[in-house]
Every structure is written in structure tokens, then in C-alpha cells.
């Protein structure tokens, strides 16, 4: 490959200065805002969840309204593991991740076939099936009341989870950082390039002889694993697992957060999580009961105007079509 072409392809992989600065700021946040550590923890988990969705939505073009299925599986797996087997957080995290990955691998044959609508329905269907199962087998999952009293052991044998959530926030941020690094490596590899090609023109990818189904299954499993990790973190740091982990609004919220942050570049997940939390807090302080109306209005206007324009303020006052 010529020098110029390889330089062009490798350019996105290089860390830019603002990325270092942003990560430094993120890591400093639990130290500076100690009273908001629980919120930081929640945003970090949400950011990881959105990052996993970006992998399938932004890089591969799979519209999934049931990503909460993996979040919930990871959460319940980690909670049940901590309750019945072993309270070590890292092992529980691994268990949640692996189980969600298994579910992703099992359901990946369903998403490779059919139209966008079929994929939408199948992903939503899987999440709904899991929600129903969790609801009905309440002897295991606690049903609508949830699974309380998940006591976690100390992290790495030393740091106990305190009520102030400082350890929890560092824990979640660490997992988010590791996931970010892994994904950065994946999307800037030849596999990542082939995924972007898949998103843009599946027929062409098939024509050049790349295996579409394998790639889709692989990336769906990876995204499921990361979503399961996020769910496990959620169960471990909040000490409970409820049906809310599997609900539709989780899938819709994470999709909205990702759209806010921007799909197709890895930062969309974390930035979108921050933006969504800020937006939700702002709206809830104005109208605590009807804030969903303003979220809906924001969505409608955003989609009418065009998603990409959110990040290009110079296009806001131009007519579309440019």
C-alpha cells in the first residue's frame, strides 16, 4: 500500500491532544466533584452502554431497539453471581460480560437476515422476551420488585464500595477506559474498515468476497459483551438488579444519547451520555412530570433538521442540501 493511502487510513487511529485532555478531565471528575460521584458512576456506565451501541449502530449500521437485553442479562447475571456464588466484583463483571456475549452470539443469526424492520422487530422481540421471562420467573429474579441486597466484596481485595460511590465511579471509569481502548483498536483495524464498508454498501462488500455474516455476528457479540459489562457494573455499583434494566425505555434512551453524541466516532457514546444526562436533569428541573414531552420535541426537531447538523453549528442557519 502506498505511503499516502496508509497514512490516510491510519490518521483516525492517532490520539489527538484534545482526547488526552478530555480523558484527563474525565479521570479528574470523581476527585473534583466528590459529591457527585454517584452521578459520575451512572454516566460512566451509560457511556459504556452507548459505546457498545455505537459499535453496531454507528460502525455497522444495525438499528437495534433491544440493546437493553444485553444490559439486563449482564446486570442480572452479575447480581445473581454475587448473591449465590462469589461477591468478587471483577469475577462478577467477567461473568456478566461472558453471558451477554453468549446471548449476542446466539441471537446474531437473527439480525443478519431481513430488512431494517425485521431487525428492529427481532431485536425488540428478544428484549421483550427476556423482560417477560425475568418477570415470570420471579423466584429467581425477584420479579417486579427486583433483586435487592447485592453485596459486593472489595475491589481487587482492597477497595470496598462505599456509600459515597467514589470507588464505584473509578471502577466504572476504568472499565469504560479499557473498553474505549479496545474499541479504538478494533475500529481502526482492517476489521473496522470492513465494518464501515458494510454499513455503507453491503452488496459491494459481498461482491469483493468478504464474509458479511461472520463480521456481523462478531461485532454483534462484541457489542453485546460490552453492553453486558455495563449492565454488570450497574448491578454491582447500585447493589440491585430490577426489571428496569431490560425495559424498552433503556434501549430508546441509549439510542437517543448516542445520536446526541454522534454515531460513528467512538466519542459519541461517552459524550452522548454526558449530554443526555445534562439534558434530562435540565428538563426535569423545569417540568418534573412532563419532561418526556420536551425530549420528544427535541427529537422531532433534531430529525427534521438533520442529525449531523447538531455538530456543525455553521450549518444551522443555512438551507439544507448543502
Partner 1 sequence: MLTLLFDGIAYGMLLFVLSLGLAVTMGLMNFINLAHGAFAMAGGYILVVLMQKAGWPFLACLPAAFLITALAGALLERTLYRPMYGKPHLDQVLFSIGLTLMAVASVDYIMGSSQQNIQLPDWLRQRFEFGSGATMLGMGAYRLFIVATCVAMALGLQAILSGTRFGSRLRAAVDDPRVAAGLGIPVNRVFLLTFAVGSGLAGLGGALGADIFGLDPNFPLKYMVYFLIVCAVGGTSSITGPLVAALVLGIADVFGKYYVPKLGAFIVYALMIAILLWRPQGLFSREGKK
Query: For partner 1, which is the closer residue by CB, 16 or 136?
Result: 136
188, with CB counted inside 10 A (0-12, 13-18, 19+), is middle
Site string for partner 1, 289-318 (x = CB under 8 A): xx-xx-xxxxxx-xxx--x-----------
Q: Record the cell numbers describing residue 108, joined without a space.
A: 446474531
Task: Using the CB atoms, write b or e for 164-183: b if 16+ within 10 Å.
Answer: ebbbbbbbbbebbbebbeeb
How many positions of this chain bind partner 1 (CB under 8 A)? 42
Please state, in angstroms and rounded to a whole number, the distance separating the CA atoms of residues 302 and 314. Answer: 15
267 φ/ψ angles, rounded to the nearest 5 degrees: -70, -10
Query: For partner 1, which is the closer residue by CB, 16 or 307?
Result: 307
**Residue 148's closest CA among 93, 229, 97, 76?**
76
Taking the complex as a whole, how short is the minimal distance between the CB of residue 262 and partner 1, in angstroms?
A: 13
The verdict on 252 binding partner 1 (CB under 8 A) reads yes
Binding segment (CB under 8 A) for partner 1, from list 28-36, 73-81, 117-125, 161-169: 117-125
Q: Which residues pair with 147 in a beta bridge?
A: 241
Please state, in angstroms and rounded to a whole number, the distance separating the CA atoms of residues 269 and 19. Answer: 14
Binding segment (CB under 8 A) for partner 1, from list 21-29, 57-65, 151-159, 170-178: 57-65
Could you tell me where the DSSP H helices lie in the chain? 3-10, 17-32, 37-57, 68-84, 89-111, 116-136, 138-141, 166-187, 190-200, 202-207, 212-238, 248-261, 268-286, 291-305
The verdict on 124 binding partner 1 (CB under 8 A) reads yes
Taking the complex as a whole, how short is the minimal distance between the CB of residue 19 and partner 1, in angstroms?
A: 26
Half-sphere exposure of 302 (CA within 13 A, CB side): 17
The verdict on 256 binding partner 1 (CB under 8 A) reads yes
Query: For partner 1, which is the closer residue by CB, 40 or 259?
Result: 259
Q: Which residue in the set 22, 94, 98, 128 belongs to the binding site for partner 1 (CB under 8 A)?
A: 128
The verdict on 118 binding partner 1 (CB under 8 A) reads yes
Query: For partner 1, which is the closer residue by CB, 158 or 289?
Result: 289
Binding segment (CB under 8 A) for partner 1, from list 2-10, 167-175, 176-184, 255-263: 255-263
Is 26:173 a contact under the CB 8 Å cutoff?
yes
Is 217:105 a contact under the CB 8 Å cutoff?
yes
Is 152:84 a contact under the CB 8 Å cutoff?
no
- For cell 488526552, the residue is 20
Query: For partner 1, which is the closer residue by CB, 279 or 299?
Result: 299
Binding segment (CB under 8 A) for partner 1, from list 11-19, 108-116, 149-157, 216-224: 108-116
Within 8 A by CB and 6+ apart from 273, the residues are 43, 44, 46, 47, 49, 50, 257, 261
Query: For partner 1, which is the closer residue by CB, 126 or 168?
Result: 126
The verdict on 259 binding partner 1 (CB under 8 A) reads yes
Taking the complex as a whole, how short is the minimal distance between the CB of residue 169 and partner 1, in angstroms?
A: 30
Footprint (CB under 8 A) of partner 1, residues 130-149 = 132-133, 135-136
Footprint (CB under 8 A) of partner 1, residues 63-102 = 63, 65
> How many Cβ atoms from other residues are within 10 Å of residue 27's Cβ?
13
Interface positions with partner 1 (CB under 8 A):
57, 63, 65, 109-110, 113-118, 120-122, 124-126, 128-129, 132-133, 135-136, 248, 252, 255-256, 259, 289-290, 292-293, 295-300, 302-304, 307
Amino acid at each position: 500500500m502506498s505511503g499516502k493511502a496508509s497514512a490516510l487510513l491510519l490518521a483516525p487511529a492517532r490520539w489527538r491532544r484534545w482526547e488526552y485532555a478530555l480523558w484527563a478531565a474525565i479521570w479528574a471528575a470523581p476527585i473534583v466533584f466528590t459529591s457527585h460521584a454517584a452521578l459520575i458512576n451512572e454516566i460512566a456506565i451509560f457511556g459504556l452502554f452507548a459505546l457498545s451501541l455505537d459499535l453496531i449502530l454507528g460502525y455497522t449500521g444495525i438499528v437495534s431497539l433491544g440493546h437493553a437485553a444485553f444490559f439486563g442479562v449482564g446486570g442480572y447475571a452479575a447480581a445473581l453471581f454475587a448473591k449465590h456464588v462469589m461477591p468478587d466484583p471483577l469475577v462478577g463483571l467477567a461473568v456478566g460480560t461472558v453471558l451477554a456475549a453468549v446471548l449476542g452470539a446466539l441471537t446474531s443469526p437473527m439480525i443478519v437476515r431481513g430488512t431494517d424492520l425485521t431487525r428492529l422487530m427481532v431485536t425488540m422481540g428478544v428484549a421483550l422476551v427476556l423482560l417477560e421471562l425475568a418477570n415470570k420467573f420471579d423466584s429467581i429474579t425477584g420479579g417486579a420488585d427486583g433483586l435487592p441486597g447485592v453485596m459486593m466484596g472489595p475491589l481487587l481485595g482492597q477497595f470496598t464500595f462505599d456509600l459515597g460511590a467514589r470507588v464505584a465511579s473509578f471502577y466504572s471509569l476504568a472499565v469504560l477506559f479499557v473498553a474505549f481502548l479496545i474499541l479504538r483498536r478494533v475500529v481502526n483495524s482492517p476489521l473496522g474498515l470492513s465494518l464501515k464498508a458494510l454499513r455503507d454498501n453491503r452488496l459491494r462488500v459481498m461482491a469483493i468476497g468478504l464474509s458479511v455474516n461472520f463480521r456481523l455476528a462478531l461485532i454483534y457479540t462484541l457489542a453485546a459483551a460490552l453492553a453486558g459489562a455495563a449492565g454488570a457494573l450497574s448491578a454491582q455499583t447500585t447493589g440491585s438488579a430490577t426489571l428496569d434494566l431490560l425495559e424498552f425505555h433503556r434501549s430508546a434512551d441509549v439510542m437517543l444519547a448516542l445520536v446526541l453524541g454522534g454515531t460513528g466516532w467512538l466519542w459519541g457514546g461517552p459524550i452522548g451520555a454526558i449530554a443526555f444526562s445534562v439534558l434530562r436533569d435540565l428538563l426535569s428541573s423545569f417540568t418534573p412530570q412532563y419532561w418526556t414531552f420536551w425530549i420528544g420535541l427535541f427529537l422531532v426537531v433534531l430529525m427534521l433538521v438533520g442529525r449531523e447538523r447538531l455538530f456543525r453549528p455553521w450549518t444551522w442557519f443555512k438551507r439544507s442540501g448543502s
